[in-house]
Structure 1
Amino acid sequence: MYNCCSNYGMDFTRKDLQRSLALIKEAVQDERNDELTYDYLIKLAPTREDKEIITSIRDDERKHRRWFKEIYKCYTGQDIESTDEEKFIKPKSYIDAIRKALFGELSAVEKYRIIRMGLPNRYQRDIVFEILTDEMKHATKYNYLLTMNLSKRKNS
């Protein structure tokens, strides 16, 4: 174990830390998959505003992936390599892709809460808290895009 742990809180167990590390490995791949999906969404986006919103979300996902890799390496001394191997399933429509992204962000919040609970270091918990709040912000932005695009479709 590397010197990343403080005695702060001591409200975690080694089992919780191991679970968090396993979920961090998943999160790194999930963030990569989201990035690829959002690259596709940017191409489909019907307006400049949509493109800018999705681009900002995609850029956050890149940052999250980097932070999760740093946390993992701190505890294990190992690098996590994410791949592009998951097969990308082309969505039926832009609306379906936005809906899927929205629920993906909400699912990430649930996973990241568990990650945060198992980390013994306050600084790293704070990093995961920032990631969590970004994911909630992303879900809100996707909800906005979904609402705007559905209302445009309804009005046309």
Structure 2
Amino acid sequence: MNGYWYGPYGYSTYAPIRPVSMDRYDDRTEVVIRLIQEGIAGERNDELFYDYLISVAPTQQEKDVITGIRDDERKHRRLFRQLYTQLSGQQPGPIEEGEMFHKPASYLAGLEQALLGELKAFEKYRTIYRYIPQQYRDTVFEIMTDELKHAGYYNWLYAKNK
């Protein structure tokens, strides 16, 4: 091992394991700030994708479930923006475009993509939780548990429509 964390999916450069202090501007804080920037953009991209899923959902019940998830993504983006400002002393810049929105082949494919995206976000946010100063952990924990809740809902929607 060369000082980096190896997650369940292989090599990961965003979680260095080095003995560093938790000073405000140390290496870990830089990693957290970068991951929070990615989280801000990712939550915005998810919000737009879920708007699409809402538009094609076959029942009002499914539209309502996805609307609740989309609204949580908006909350996460707001919370990440606050964390970014508190940790960096600066307002986050304009949102960098992540992956371009690609219309899924079907509603079911969109649900699968959403489910996997929620789980991937949880993995990233777990790294933020690990390295963020203690006083911010409750906020990150709320976001993480929401992501798991969303994955459960998307799993239910996928099974329902399979």
Aligned match of 2:71: 59
Relative contact order, higher structure (CA 8 A, sep 6+): 1
CA pair 146-88 structure 1, distance change in 2 beyond 3 A: same
CA distance in 1, matches of 2:21, 2:76: 24
Structure having the higher helix fraction is: 1
Aligned match of 1:153: none
Structure 1 outlier segments of 4+, above 4 Å: 10-13, 83-86
Structure 2 counterpart of 1:71, which letter? L
Percent identity between the aligned chains?
A: 49
Structure having the higher strand fraction is: 2
* Structure 1 segments unaligned to the other structure (5+ residues): 1-9, 151-156
Matches of residues 7-156 of structure 1 in structure 2 within 5 Å? 12=22, 14-80=26-92, 81-82=94-95, 86-122=99-135, 124-150=136-162
CA distance in 2, matches of 1:109, 1:47: 28
CA distance in 2, matches of 1:17, 1:99: 33
Report the TM-score, using the length of structure 1 for normalisation: 0.84
- Residue aligned with 2:104, SS: coil
* Structure 2 segments unaligned to the other structure (5+ residues): 1-19
Aligned match of 2:15: none
Report the TM-score, using the length of structure 2 for normalisation: 0.81
1:18 deviates by 1.1
Structure 2 counterpart of 1:50, which letter? E
**RMSD of equivalent CA atoms:** 1.7
